[in-house]
Structure 1
């Protein structure tokens, strides 16, 4: 099985985090925008699938972390990835993506504090 690149892991992790938070973030955003109605209750239909999305998010963020920190890519001299700035940018991108994604996962526990 081919290993996933750190970029692919981040993208899949982000998609899973968005899926995990749709049931909770979606209604909150719509209510904050002034959209109301009983149909908003139907937006929680993805709640039973939340554990799957949370697991996928953690899995792919973990794979990206593993790829960036534990087993960094070995490059030939002169290749673009041999430049230390490339690894620094990749790690920065990882943290810029990971922190909001983990925040999205925490919404169900933090949301009661806001309403």
Structure 2
């Protein structure tokens, strides 16, 4: 598996997390940037799709975690998962992305603190 294919689940998870958080984080970010208007309320149109995006986040990050934390014995020699430095870097990127995704997915609960 090449480098691009192995990054797709994490990238897809982040995109799904953005989709899950756009209904809550989007209006707040726009207001913090000074953008206002009644059309901001239309960003809540994504709310019915929130469970679908959350499901994508869980599935894609579960798959990524499985690929990253699988035993090195399952890796083919010479591939990226067999190199310890690359494996460590992938773990760091995975956890930073997972924290970002969790923040976006749970935004409708903690965003009330700032509103």
On whether the aligned pair clears a TM of 0.5, the verdict is yes
* Separation in structure 1 between the aligned mates of residue 42 and residue 13 of structure 2, nearest angstrom: 25
Report the structure, 1 or 2, having the larger helix content.
Answer: 2
- TM-score when scaled to structure 1? 0.86
- TM-score when scaled to structure 2? 0.86
Please state if 1:74 is matched with 2:75: yes
Task: Tell me the equivalent position of 2:108.
Answer: 108
Question: 1:37 Cα deviation (Å)?
Answer: 1.6
User: Residue deviations 1:50-108, cap 9 Å, x none?
Assistant: 000011011101110111113555122xx252321111111111112111111111110
Alignment of 1:1-115 (within 5 A): 5-72=5-72, 73-76=74-77, 79-81=78-80, 82-115=82-115
C-alpha contact (below 8 Å) 2:14/2:100 kept by paired residues: no
CA RMSD of aligned residues (A): 1.5
Structure 1 unaligned segments of length 5 or more: list them: none
Structure 2 unaligned segments of length 5 or more: list them: none
Stretches (4+) displaced over 3 A = 70-73
